């Protein structure tokens, strides 16, 4: 049956072609064998079928770049955004006046620059719970992140740390600031001054070497002078060899090193060679000692009890913690079960349970007690630089490097234009100018060490206490020696001196009587 339909369809097609084109063909016919019965079909049949059948259309393939092109066409000009922020010096600071509340800070300056460049306006409000955002037990978030997720705000403009956990629930713009985590502590008291601080420029080995050189030079001076004197070498009346006993030789080496003159003076050639070399030696020693003594007495060194994150985790005397509800709080909390040093620190912080409610509250805890605050380095640098009493310092090197960005909703079209605006501020150098406005460069030193000569304090009595003790000891020794000599002379040699006095008196009387006998007129 179907063979008959094909034949009918073919003949009808030929008739339609002949009627439509009104032309004849002389080419040999093409034979399509569909059965044992041959069917003659002209070559116009395929063309006719092509005209009768609908032309297939090529499906339009949506390129992956189309979404990006659409994002580039998104304009914020004329839009009014609802932005949420948090109070954090120097990023966002509030000032209440009669006219109302005004906000200023580094983040506010960035927001103003973006609004002016992209042409949008905004309504700004503070996050109700005063936190940056952390996951809750019921699969919700608190703080700034929670406000964006719940669509209460279009964007969170604050120093929000970009993390993998937050990136799963919100989108972040390009980071406008890079950062790390640091340690803040109250500046310790300067290292205690030793009782014998004047000995600090040289170590004990140098002092004993100088003392040995002093005695060695004195012995050598005594020996050479004594040999010359015994052998009658040189001019004995001029060379002073006889005067250089061991006591005088030791005295010469001593007064030479303290830069004072004395007797006897070396006159022989060997004595002068030895004394000249000793004087040059003492010149170098005294000059070096004076230079080092100045540095040791005027520069007070700070000895920090903690120098790194490992030192902090390995001690329990000084408590430490992070600010509640921040990225660092979530980070340490997420380390449970990892077996890392951060897990051990989290359990310690959890046991102490001293999480400050804000970063500035943590700074006040550091000022008032022995406490270490773990916080992002930009805020810590600001706190140290602007401290009125310069009583804070940073410890160790930063760790856990991240970035700050603005948070928008997942899939929000605001992300790309805000990111492009931030990149333009960074490329033009405007971002650096805004940062320098809020982070002073000439504030308090970050490491607590002061290199300013004007801030050097006057030297106290404790610096010279050892010298006073040395002088007092010498005075007491002189008094004791004098008393011993007087007592020995008075009681041990008193009879001999009395007998000698009687003999001198008797001799005087005899001489007088002799003179009177010779010349009676003396009376």
Take residue 220 and report the two structure tokens written for it: 């050598």
For residue 448, the model assigns a pLDDT of: 67
Q: Give the residues across from 395 on adjacent strands.
A: 183
Q: For the chain, give the mean pLDDT.
A: 77
238 and 267 Cβ atoms separated by less than 8 Å: yes
Residue 23 has pLDDT above 50, yes or no: no
Distances (CA, A) of 246 to 213, 217, 251, 261, 405: 15, 11, 8, 18, 82
- Band of the pLDDT at 226, cuts 50, 70, 90? confident
Cα radius of gyration (the chain): 50
- Band of the pLDDT at 1, cuts 50, 70, 90? very low
Dihedrals phi, psi of 410, to nearest 5 degrees: -65, 125
Q: Report how far residue 4's alpha carbon sits from residue 444's, in angstroms, rounded to the nearest whole number.
A: 104
Summarize the confidence of residues 272-285 as an average pLDDT.
Answer: 85
- Band of the pLDDT at 452, cuts 50, 70, 90? very low
162 and 402 Cβ atoms separated by less than 8 Å: yes
Ramachandran region, residue 436 (left: φ > 0; alpha: ψ -120 to 50; beta: rest): alpha
Comparing CA positions, the residue from 188, 184, 189 lying closest to residue 382 is 184
Residue 25 has pLDDT above 80, yes or no: no
97 and 412 Cβ atoms separated by less than 8 Å: no
Q: Report how far residue 461's alpha carbon sits from residue 378's, in angstroms, rounded to the nearest whole number.
A: 40
Q: How many CB atoms lie within 10 A of CB 266?
A: 22
Residue 464 has pLDDT above 80, yes or no: no
Distances (CA, A) of 241 to 238, 247, 268, 435: 8, 13, 7, 78
141 and 163 Cβ atoms separated by less than 8 Å: no
What count of Cα atoms within 13 Å lies in the side-chain half-sphere of residue 194?
9
Residue 312 has pLDDT above 80, yes or no: yes
Summarize the confidence of residues 446-469 as an average pLDDT.
Answer: 60
For residue 463, the model assigns a pLDDT of: 59
The residues near 385 (Cβ < 8 Å, ≥ 6 apart) are: 439, 440, 443, 444, 446
Domains recognised in the chain with CATH numbers: 197-298 (1.10.287.70)
Any idea which of 181-195, 260-274, 308-322, 452-466 has the lowest mean pLDDT?
452-466
User: Among residues of the chain, what percentage have pLDDT more than 90?
Assistant: 19
Summarize the confidence of residues 420-436 as an average pLDDT.
Answer: 91
Q: What is the DSSP letter of 202?
A: S
Residue 408 has pLDDT above 90, yes or no: yes
- Band of the pLDDT at 200, cuts 50, 70, 90? confident
Q: Report how far residue 273's alpha carbon sits from residue 280's, in angstroms, rounded to the nearest whole number.
A: 11
For residue 301, the model assigns a pLDDT of: 57
161 is in an annotated binding site: yes
Distances (CA, A) of 364 to 1, 153, 359, 360, 368: 100, 31, 9, 6, 6
Summarize the confidence of residues 60-84 as an average pLDDT.
Answer: 61
The secondary structure of 59-81, three-state, reads CCCCCCHHHHHHHHHCCCCCCEE
More confident site: 67 or 521:
521
- Band of the pLDDT at 494, cuts 50, 70, 90? low
User: Among residues of the chain, what percentage have pLDDT more than 70?
Assistant: 72
- Band of the pLDDT at 26, cuts 50, 70, 90? very low
The residues near 517 (Cβ < 8 Å, ≥ 6 apart) are: none
490 is in an annotated binding site: no
Summarize the confidence of residues 109-127 as an average pLDDT.
Answer: 92
Summarize the confidence of residues 130-157 as an average pLDDT.
Answer: 89
Summarize the confidence of residues 446-452 as an average pLDDT.
Answer: 63
Rounded to a whole number, what is the distance in angstroms from the first to the last CA of the chain? 197
More confident site: 333 or 43:
333
For residue 30, the model assigns a pLDDT of: 37
For residue 250, the model assigns a pLDDT of: 85
Residue 419 has pLDDT above 60, yes or no: yes
What count of Cα atoms within 13 Å lies in the side-chain half-sphere of residue 181?
19
For residue 302, the model assigns a pLDDT of: 55
For residue 246, the model assigns a pLDDT of: 85
Q: Report how far residue 162's alpha carbon sits from residue 226's, in angstroms, rounded to the nearest whole number.
A: 86
More confident site: 283 or 443:
283
- Band of the pLDDT at 151, cuts 50, 70, 90? very high
For residue 63, the model assigns a pLDDT of: 39
Residue 134 has pLDDT above 70, yes or no: yes
101 is in an annotated binding site: no
- Band of the pLDDT at 476, cuts 50, 70, 90? confident
Comparing CA positions, the residue from 213, 210, 188, 190 lying closest to residue 201 is 210
166 is in an annotated binding site: yes
Dihedrals phi, psi of 452, to nearest 5 degrees: -85, 120
Whose tokens are 């150098």? That residue is 429
Summarize the confidence of residues 103-120 as an average pLDDT.
Answer: 92
Summarize the confidence of residues 276-283 as an average pLDDT.
Answer: 86
For residue 337, the model assigns a pLDDT of: 86
Whose tokens are 């303290």? That residue is 258
For residue 173, the model assigns a pLDDT of: 93
Any idea which of 57-61, 172-176, 375-379 has the lowest mean pLDDT?
57-61
Summarize the confidence of residues 196-203 as an average pLDDT.
Answer: 78
Top-ranked range on mean pLDDT: pick from 20-24, 394-398, 508-512? 394-398
Q: Report how far residue 226's alpha carbon sits from residue 13's, in angstroms, rounded to the nearest whole number.
A: 149
Comparing CA positions, the residue from 197, 202, 108, 206 lying closest to residue 158 is 108
Residue 15 has pLDDT above 50, yes or no: no
More confident site: 453 or 261:
261
463 and 191 Cβ atoms separated by less than 8 Å: no
Whose tokens are 């620190």? That residue is 345
Q: Report how far residue 185's alpha carbon sits from residue 365's, in angstroms, rounded to the nearest whole number.
A: 10
Dihedrals phi, psi of 333, to nearest 5 degrees: -65, -35
For residue 57, the model assigns a pLDDT of: 41
For residue 273, the model assigns a pLDDT of: 85
Q: How many CB atoms lie within 10 A of CB 61?
A: 7
461-499 in b/e form (b: 16+ CB < 10 A) is eebebbeeeeeeeeeeeeeeeeeeeeeeeeeeeeeeeee
The pairs formed by 57-63 with CB atoms below 8 angstroms and a separation of 24 or more are: none
Take residue 103 and report the two structure tokens written for it: 């906000």
- Band of the pLDDT at 121, cuts 50, 70, 90? very high
More confident site: 305 or 291:
291
């Amino acid at each position: 049956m179907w063979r008959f339909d094909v034949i009918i369809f073919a003949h009808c097609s030929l008739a339609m072609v002949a009627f439509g084109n009104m032309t004849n063909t002389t080419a040999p016919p093409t034979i399509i064998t569909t059965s044992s019965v041959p069917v003659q079909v002209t070559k116009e049949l395929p063309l006719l079928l092509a005209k009768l059948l609908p032309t297939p259309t090529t499906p339009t393939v949506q390129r992956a770049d189309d979404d990006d092109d659409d994002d580039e066409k998104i304009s914020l000009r004329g839009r009014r955004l609802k932005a949420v922020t948090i109070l954090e010096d120097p990023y966002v600071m509030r000032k209440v006046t009669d006219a109302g509340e005004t906000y200023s800070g580094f983040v506010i300056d960035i927001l103003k620059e973006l609004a002016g460049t992209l042409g949008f306006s905004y309504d700004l409000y503070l996050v109700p719970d005063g936190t940056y955002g952390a996951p809750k037990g019921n699969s919700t978030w608190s703080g700034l992140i929670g406000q964006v997720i719940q669509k209460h705000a279009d964007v969170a403009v604050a120093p929000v740390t970009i993390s993998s956990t937050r990136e799963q629930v919100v989108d972040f713009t390009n980071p406008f600031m890079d950062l790390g985590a640091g340690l803040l502590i109250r500046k310790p008291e300067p290292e205690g001054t030793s009782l014998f601080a004047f000995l600090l420029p040289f170590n004990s080995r140098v002092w004993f070497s100088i003392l040995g050189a002093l005695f060695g030079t004195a012995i050598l001076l005594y020996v050479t002078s004594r040999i010359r004197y015994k052998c009658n070498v040189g001019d004995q009346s001029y060379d002073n060899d006889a005067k250089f006993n061991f006591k005088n030789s030791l005295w010469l080496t001593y007064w030479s090193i303290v830069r004072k003159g004395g007797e006897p003076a070396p006159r022989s050639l060997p004595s002068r060679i030895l004394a000249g070399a000793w004087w040059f030696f003492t010149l170098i020693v005294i000059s070096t000692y004076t230079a080092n003594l100045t540095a040791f007495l005027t520069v007070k060194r700070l000895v920090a009890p903690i120098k790194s994150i490992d030192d902090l985790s390995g001690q329990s005397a000084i408590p430490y913690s992070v600010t509640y509800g921040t990225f660092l709080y979530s980070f340490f909390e997420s380390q449970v079960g990892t077996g890392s040093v951060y897990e051990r620190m989290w359990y310690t912080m959890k046991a102490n349970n001293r999480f400050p409610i804000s970063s500035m509250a943590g700074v006040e805890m550091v000022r008032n007690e022995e406490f270490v605050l773990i916080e992002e380095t930009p805020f810590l640098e600001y706190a140290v630089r602007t401290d009125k009493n310069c009583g804070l310092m940073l410890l160790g090197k930063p760790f856990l490097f991240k970035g700050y960005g603005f948070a928008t909703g997942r899939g929000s079209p605001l992300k790309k234009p805000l990111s492009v605006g931030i990149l333009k501020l960074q490329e033009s150098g405007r971002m650096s100018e805004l940062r320098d406005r809020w982070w002073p460069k000439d504030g308090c030193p970050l490491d607590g060490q002061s290199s300013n000569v004007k801030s050097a304090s006057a030297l106290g009595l404790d610096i010279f206490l050892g010298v006073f003790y040395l002088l007092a000891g010498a005075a007491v020794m002189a008094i004791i020696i004098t008393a011993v000599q007087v007592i020995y002379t008075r009681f041990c040699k008193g009879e001999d001196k009395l007998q000698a006095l009687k003999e001198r008196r008797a001799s005087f009387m005899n001489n007088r009587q002799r003179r009177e006998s010779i010349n009676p007129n003396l009376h």
